[in-house]
Amino acid sequence: MATTGQDKTDQAGHAAPLERAERDLVALGILVAAIFLFVGTGSTVMTGIVRSWIYGVGSPDVLLTNALILNIALLIFGWRRYAELQTEITERRKAEENATRLARTDALTGCLNRRSLDEAIAGLIDEAAECNEGVAVMMIDLDKFKRSNDLLGHKVGDAVLVETARRIEALMPPRAIVARLGGDEFICAAIFATGSESAIERLAVRINNGLAEPIVSGGLRAEVTASIGIAQGAGGAVHSSAQVAQDLLHRADLAMYQAKRRGRNRFAWFEQSMEKELRFRGELEQGIREGLKRGEFVPYYEKQIDLESGEITGFEMLARWISPRHGMVGPEVFIPVAEEIGLIAELSETLITMALEDAKAWDASLTLSVNISPLQLRDPWFAQRLLKLLVAANFPPTRLEIEITETCLHENIAVVRSLITSLKNQGIRISLDDFGTGYSSLAQLRTLPFDRIKIDRSFVSSLARSADSASIVEAISSLGRGMALPITAEGVESAEVLSALRRFGQFKGQGYLYGQPASAEAVRRELAAQGLLTSVTDSDPAPETPNARSA
């Protein structure tokens, strides 16, 4: 609003300041004229009055007396108006100073805001250049602040932000600035002597430790940590201070995301490789968006085998991205990115739709297993949308198995329980994937109605050469028998592993020993050769349709 007002004033040729100046001059002129009139008429009138009262000679001039009275009134009016103008000027100055402060600072924390940050850092760079020193910029982002804010309330969240700003400012050295970019992101910058990387790192450690201390507000206890990205630079003749400031902010931002990827609650220095990684990430995001439209994501299928009989019991759907630029891309590359940019639901449901069409041609005894992203488990309407896909494809729910990773159980156990119950009520089976890698308790296995446990491939693939893996697989198989839960072993990649696995009981197995994941058309040909197709024959294959999936 202040900016808009200023624009109007400028367009009017600074009319408001000129009008105020004219009023001030008029009031001052009246006051000065009244003083001169008072001096000129006052002496004559007062002399006549004194002579009349004391000596009884003559009488004061009536006209001059009236002029004197009017002059006194003008003096009172002029002085009062002058005093009002002085008060108005003082208040206006305070208002302008307050408006300037509000325009430059964050209303909640009192730190600099985004608008004034570039100029402030450029000023630090100029100051440092005069002393042949450099400037270090730190991008500070609070870890999982949104979750804390949602759980404890926005009032506590605001208190956390205020206290965070206070702690950062208390730790900063002289000649430093602190700014809040918005949300839970802060920037601090300070002047350091050349070669002071160790001092900068010690400051980052102090900030990490200081922000990790609990914050108590309104009887509630909030605990947050911070990821810090560091970039260092100095001004020079090649680039302006403003450009150097922009570069440092950009690099500190890249380094901060690297700190988050390394586990949060830590700091990371900017490295040139991060620029390449950022460009690749941007290309990946754009490629996923365009690939979804062009149908570049396709389902591949991995066999699930009954280890005792050697017969195929079903397939697990795996996502593949056939990119014109990058070739065949595995899910470990694009699934995390699709989750972060909010496309995982569309990606997953599109592929599930196409996989259901593929699986309809398989023998009725064969099942289809699909993985579900943790983000989809947070959606209370996921079960209803999945049922809609089944109805549209006319696919029996009893042939579908949903795989939920063990780590998903800790996102929100109440939501997961509700989702599992809803899916099972429709006849869909639920398996606990990657068992042994997370933190599932026996209580969760007992209370959540799983239909199957899948042992993580890291234990199975090393079964023949690792006593620890053998002990873990044996314990899981005993647990499955005790709870009447069938078990699937992933990662069966050699005859030695298969032989060792059979000693622990009856399993389903899947892995490269039985072949690589294959396309829908390749699976159809293999099933046709074994007489395991229903409505589609090998001589009349349906065209393969690209689709997408979460892995």
Instruction: Show me where the domains of the chain are located.
Output: 2-104, 114-271, 301-435+442-456+487-529
Distance CA 417, CA 425 (A): 12
Helix/strand/coil percentages in the chain, nearest 5: 55, 20, 25
Q: Say if CB 343 and CB 288 are below 8 A apart.
A: yes
Q: What pLDDT, on a 0 to 100 scale, did the predictor assign at position 345?
A: 92
Give φ, ψ of 270 to 5 degrees.
Answer: -70, 140
* DSSP element (H, E) containing 138: strand 134-143
Q: Which residues contact 3 (CB under 8 A, 6 or more apart)?
A: 103
Q: Which CATH architecture has domain 114-271?
A: 2-Layer Sandwich (3.30)
User: Strand pairing partners for 508?
Assistant: 306, 488
CB atoms inside a 10 Å sphere around CB 222: 19
Name the phi and psi angles at 141, rounded to 5. Answer: -125, 125
pLDDT string in tens for the chain (551-residue length) = 334 334 434 444 444 555 555 566 666 666 666 666 666 666 666 666 655 656 555 565 566 666 667 767 766 776 777 777 777 777 777 766 666 656 678 888 989 988 888 889 999 999 998 888 899 999 999 998 887 887 788 889 999 999 999 999 999 998 899 999 888 999 999 999 888 899 999 999 999 999 999 998 888 888 889 999 999 987 655 568 888 898 899 999 999 989 998 888 999 999 888 888 778 888 899 999 999 999 999 999 999 999 988 999 999 999 999 998 888 988 988 998 998 889 999 999 999 999 999 999 999 999 999 999 888 888 888 899 999 999 999 999 999 999 988 767 765 677 788 888 889 998 999 998 888 765 555 666 777 888 998 988 888 988 878 888 889 888 888 888 888 889 999 999 999 989 888 888 888 999 999 999 999 999 999 999 999 998 544 444 443 433 333 33
Predicted pLDDT of residue 235: 66
* Residue 121 · residue 189 · CB < 8 Å: yes
Sheet holding 225-233, edge to edge: 176-182, 185-192, 134-143, 225-233, 267-269
357: left (phi over 0), alpha (psi -120 to 50) or beta: alpha
Element (H, E) at 288: helix 273-294
Q: What is the CA radius of gyration of the chain?
A: 39
Q: Which residues contact 386 (CB under 8 A, 6 or more apart)?
A: 349, 352, 402, 423, 428
pLDDT at 551: 34
- Helices 344-359/520-529 angle, 10° precision: 20
Regarding beta strands 215-217 and 225-233, do their DSSP bridges make them parallel or antiparallel, or are they unpaired?
unpaired
Helix (H, G, I), strand (E, B) or coil at 185: strand
pTM value?
A: 0.62
8 Å CB contact between 454 and 432: yes
Given this structure, which CATH class describes domain 301-435+442-456+487-529?
alpha beta
Question: Which residues are CB-contacts of 359 (< 8 A; sequence separation ≥ 6)?
Answer: 315, 366, 368, 395, 399
3-state secondary structure of 219: coil
Cα–Cα distance measured from residue 139 to residue 230, given in angstroms and rounded to the nearest whole number: 7
Q: What are phi and psi of 163, to 5 degrees?
A: -70, -35
Among residues 96, 489, 512, 100, the alpha carbon closest in space to that of 308 is found at: 489
The label of the residue with tokens 């800790």 reads 410
